[in-house]
Amino acid sequence: MSVSFASLHGRLIDLHLHSDGSISVPAARRLAELGGQPLAMSDAEVFDHLSVGDECEDLNEYLDKFWFPLSLIQTHEQVSENIYLLQEELRERGYAYAELRYAPQSLCERGLTQREVVEASLDGLRRSGFEARLILCCMRGADNLEANLETVELAAEYLGNEVVALDLAGAEALFPTVSFAPVFARARELGVPFTIHAGEADGPQSVRDALAMGAARIGHGVRAVEDPGLVRELAARQIPLEVCFTSEVQTGALQSYHHAESLRRLLDAGCLVTINSDNCSVSNTWAARELVVVAEALGLTQNEVDQLLLNAVEASFADEATKERLREVVGR
């Protein structure tokens, strides 16, 4: 039994979606105009600037694609419009809910403060009736502890119905997860829940380090399959895994012909797997496509795909009232 796009429309949940990596070609043109520098490129050229191809070799090359979209969201108007436009595009594609993540410190190159970035993103969020929440990303780096701690403080200050969590993103293999323990110790002190990118470019120890820090969810986490004991722990504790099938193949987290087998092992072990897009533009994908690709690769039934959607509801950082509404939408 094949899973159709029509069966997913209006029911899509995406928990791992980078707003800077999900700028469409029309949105890129609009953001460039707001910045006073209209794009003198064809749509195909803009697309090439936004997306990786099949030649992508690893996560570091994948991350190189972000310089262009980041250049388009450096003013209050651009940050706000980006969040607003993304929500409207998600609504049109049949999403019911999404958690949009970005790093405030990456949007300060033209004078904005991190606080101003957060305020701008909240402005964009509130201009749309689409149901979304924000996750603020800390970044992996060698000398950005102060900036990361500022992100943590802002997440605590704005924590509620709109900002719901923290994350750690960036070049995982170059900057090991354990190096950021002080950042997430502060998050724990302030009561801010968090997810951490782990088990993507680095191995299962990265996931163990994230769990030791108190991560409520794991971004990607697919390389946990290399450690059966860790897989058992993830299943026993029902730690959600934010799997992003296409991007994990593109970054080399798992080779394409091994990825389906590894994902099947995680599901069969009882892990709480969710399926997400990661970066709609960089990876040229979206939640429905990811679910269909995974369903075809693993031979899932419609009921099994429905369970993946329900997994996402339960794993979300949304409040209980929102989760109850989403259960009704997804379970219809």
Q: Are 259 and 249 in contact (CB under 8 A)?
A: yes
Q: Helix (H, G, I), strand (E, B), or coil: what is residue 245?
A: helix
How many Cβ atoms from other residues are within 10 Å of residue 319's Cβ?
Answer: 12
- For residues 190 and 213, is the Cβ–Cβ distance under 8 A? no
200 is catalytic: yes
Q: Active-site residue among 200, 242, 248, 290?
A: 200
Spatial separation of the C-alpha atoms in residues 87 and 164, rounded to whole Å: 17
What span, in angstroms and rounded, lies between the C-alpha atoms of 57 and 147? Answer: 30
The count of C-alpha atoms lying within 13 angstroms of the C-alpha of 58, restricted to the half-sphere facing its C-beta, is 8
Q: What is the CA radius of gyration of the chain?
A: 18
Residue 20 near residue 124, CB atoms below 8 Å: no
Residue 319, CA distances (Å) to 162, 313, 316 in order: 10, 10, 8
Helix axes 145-158, 181-190, angle to 10 degrees: 20
The end-to-end CA distance of the chain, in Å, is 19
Pairing of strands 195-198, 163-169: unpaired
3-state secondary structure of 144: coil
What kind and span of H or E run contains 123? helix 114-126
Q: Which residues are catalytic?
A: 200
